[in-house]
Each structure stands twice: as C-alpha cells, then as structure tokens.
Amino acid sequence: MYAYCFYSCSTATPAGTNVSFKMIPTLSRPYQSVRLLNLQEYQSKKLLEDYGCCIQRFIVAGNRAEAESQMNDFNRAHYMVKSQVLAGGRGKGRFIGGRKDLGGVVIANNKKEVLGYVDEMCGKVLVTKQTGKEGLLVKKVLICEAVSIKRETYLAILLDREANCPVVIHSPEGGMDIETVAREKPDLVYKEPIDIIQGMTKTQAMKIAKNLKFTGVCAERAAHEIRCLYELFTAVDATMVEINPLVESEGMQVNGAGLAMATMDIIKLYGATPANFLDVGGTVTEEAVVAAFNIITSDPKVEAILVNIFGGIVNCQLIAKGLIGAFKKLELKEKVEEGTRAKEALQDLKASGLPLITAVDLDEAAKKVVASVKK
C-alpha cells in the first residue's frame, strides 16, 4: 500500500491550510486514488509545528465561551479569525443569513472583535466558490496572530518519479500560481534534487534559502525551516509538501547579545539584580546545558535562574532535556523560569516533576523569577 500526502500551507496570510491524504489500496489498480481523510487547517498547522516549523500562535474554538477562556493570555495587536471548513475561497465567501460584508477569514483588531466574529461564524453555513450553494457548516474557528508580511516566496518538496528522488522546487516569487511564474519567469523557478539516503544537508538548505533571496540571519532561519519541512516530508512519507507563501515577516526578531541585555534589563525593571548572564550559543548540546548550570550554581549566592531561549535556530526541546539533566545530575534546588512556548519543551519539563515554573513570554518570566527571589 502506498500513501499519498498533499500539504498546502499559508501560515501568515488569510489563505487556508489544507491537508489531504490519498491511499492507493491495491497493486492491481495502481492509478486509482481514493480520498480517505482530510485535515482541517488547525490540524495541519499542528503537524507542521510538531516538526519544528515556525507557526504563529493559534487557538481553536467552537463557540464564544471556548474562545474567551483561551484568549486570557493571548495578547496580540491583531488577530486572524478563520472558519474551519474544507474548502478554498473562504475569505471571499459569505454566510447564509449573515452580514454581506463578512467572509470566512477576517482580521480582528482586538479581543472583543475576535469574540464577535466567533459568534457570527460558529454554527453558521459558509458558502464559497468551492462549496456549492448549499455551503458548509462552520463548527470551529482558528484564531491566530496576524503577521505583517514583508515578502512572499514559494517552496515545495515533492517526489520526482523521473529523478527518483525528492526535489525542492522553489522561487523567490510566491503567493501566486507557481505555474504562472514558471511560464512568465522561468529563470526564477529553481529545482534542488535531494539524495534520499543522505537527506538534505545544511549546505543545500542554505543554497535554497539564498535562491529565495533571504540574506543574513533571515537566510539561516529560512534554511532551518526548510530542513524542518524536509524532515516532515520524509517522516510522514509524503509525496508533496507545499508552502505558498513562505514569507519573511516585518520586524523579524533576532537574538544575540541584545537578548541577554534585554533579559537583564527587565529583571532590573521588576526589582531584582542580575548577577550575570551566560550565552550557550546556537550550537548548544544537552551536555553544554548541564555544564552551563554547573558554572552558574558554583556561585552560592545564586537564588534563582531565568532561562530565556529564543525559539529560532536553538532547539527548545534540547534545552529542556538539558535542564532536566542538570537538575538530576547537580541536584539543583533553585527554581527555574523559562520564557519559551515550545510545546514539546514544556511537556518534557512538566513530565520531569521538577520545581520548574513556566511563562509564556519574557515579561511574565521576569516577574516570576523576581517574585521567587523576594520570597
């Protein structure tokens, strides 16, 4: 039996994320595909997130109460509210019996607007160009952070049966039909074959990132995302993973010495005095995390430790495992605050049973670490 998986994702625009699986059940009829499963946008986002891809924070709700309970610590300047139905054209769709100016994908400027849209969407029938006049019932909505897009690119990893290997098709011009780009600007469509045994190398990922016109830190980040996508491609035995658009957002955050200084500044702001900081670097290992804690705790005056990991190139789950190892090996008693939202890391930390206090952002982490010292 062969599995066929198709992914189409847009994590920063109103366009939906659709994932479908097709199975070829017998060898006697190899060209007949049967659709057995479709995943909603929020489910495919979770799949991408599970493999380390950069996905903006989101919640899923089936009614106002569910949305309101999850919005308490979800503070953003703008939100996207997206009807979860298996059809394209949601943004230009209309609800039967609803406002004529309300589509299935909208931007909300505050939490009050979000909750209002949830009321207007959930339990209503959305008609789009792909649903027919009868439309589809919206049972859930996805609420995510609205991202300001600086530039759109295109990337797809597919199994090329002629080349007998995965091929990464990519273009610095995304957000449109790639066939149109290939026809009108063929020199802007690149193909990078991948050795199925060796896998995608860092050099290949960086080459692809540069073909997409990413530079500097953005190129490193893009290369990391591309390798995560390839890991997903192989892990789920996909024949195609497509991201259109793969975007560069406005005001991309970069970590470095500035992150350490900002962390110390905010600790001082809330009334405590930082003793020092230790930068583990982008190529950190679990062993290095243990060694770092060994250095920090050698000072008997240390009362609390704040761990602030920018979830970019550094693997947050690796840091979490290092923390657990440090606690067990060094028999630490200090409370440790952490400011990452990486779900896998949080799960590992919670499962360890160690005295770890978590936070959703740096501001909250600083407040908690200062409070633990004052106690």
Residues 2-56+149-249: name the CATH superfamily. ATP-grasp fold, B domain (3.30.470.20)
Query: Taking CA 267 as the corner, what is the angle to CA 266 and CA 270, rounded to the nearest 5 degrees?
Result: 85
Question: Helices in 28-162 by DSSP H: which ranges?
Answer: 41-50, 64-70, 111-121
Domain spans of the chain, in order of start: 2-56+149-249, 58-145, 257-374
- In the three-class reduction of DSSP (H, G, I as helix; E, B as strand; rest coil), residue 167 is classed as strand
> Are the C-beta atoms of residues 82 and 105 closer than 8 Å to each other?
yes
> Are the C-beta atoms of residues 157 and 196 closer than 8 Å to each other?
no
Look up the CATH number of domain 58-145: 3.30.1490.20
User: Rounded to whole angstroms, how far apart are CA atoms 15 and 149?
Assistant: 13
The DSSP result for 214-235, as a single string, is: --HHHHHHHHHHHHHHHHHHHH
* Cβ-based neighbours of 205, under 8 Å, separated by 6 or more: 223, 224, 226, 227, 230
Amino acid identity, residue 337? Answer: E
Amino acid identity, residue 236? Answer: V
* Cβ-based neighbours of 96, under 8 Å, separated by 6 or more: 124, 125, 126, 127, 135
- Taking the CA atoms of 61, 67, 69 and 73 in sequence, report the sign of the dihedral they define: positive
Q: 């991408």: which residue's tokens? A: 48
Phi and psi at 309, nearest 5°, equal -110, 120
pLDDT tens-digit profile of 191-210?
A: 999 999 999 999 999 999 99
CA contacts within 13 A on the Cβ side of 304: 23
Buried b (16+ CB within 10 A) or exposed e, 339-367: bbebebbbebbeebeeebebbeebeebbb
Note if the pTM is more than 0.75: no
> Are the C-beta atoms of residues 1 and 30 closer than 8 Å to each other?
no
pLDDT tens, N- to C-terminus, the chain (375 residues):
333 333 334 334 344 444 444 444 444 444 444 445 677 899 989 999 889 888 888 999 999 999 999 998 898 889 999 999 999 889 999 999 999 999 999 999 999 999 999 999 999 999 999 999 999 999 999 999 998 888 899 999 999 988 899 999 999 998 766 778 888 999 999 999 999 999 999 999 999 999 999 998 889 889 999 999 999 999 988 888 888 889 888 764 444 556 777 777 777 777 788 877 777 666 667 788 888 888 888 888 888 888 877 655 566 777 777 778 777 777 766 555 544 445 566 676 677 666 666 665 666 766 776 777 665
> Are the C-beta atoms of residues 167 and 192 closer than 8 Å to each other?
yes
- Which residues participate in catalysis according to the annotation? 154, 242
- In the three-class reduction of DSSP (H, G, I as helix; E, B as strand; rest coil), residue 86 is classed as coil
Q: Strands 79-83 and 141-145: what pairing?
A: antiparallel
Q: What angle, rounded to 10 degrees, do the helices at 216-235 and 202-211 form?
A: 120
User: Rounded to whole angstroms, how far apart are CA atoms 146 and 316?
Assistant: 23
The DSSP letter of residue 166 is: E
The DSSP letter of residue 210 is: H
CA contacts within 13 A on the Cβ side of 183: 5
Domain 257-374: CATH class, spelled out: alpha beta
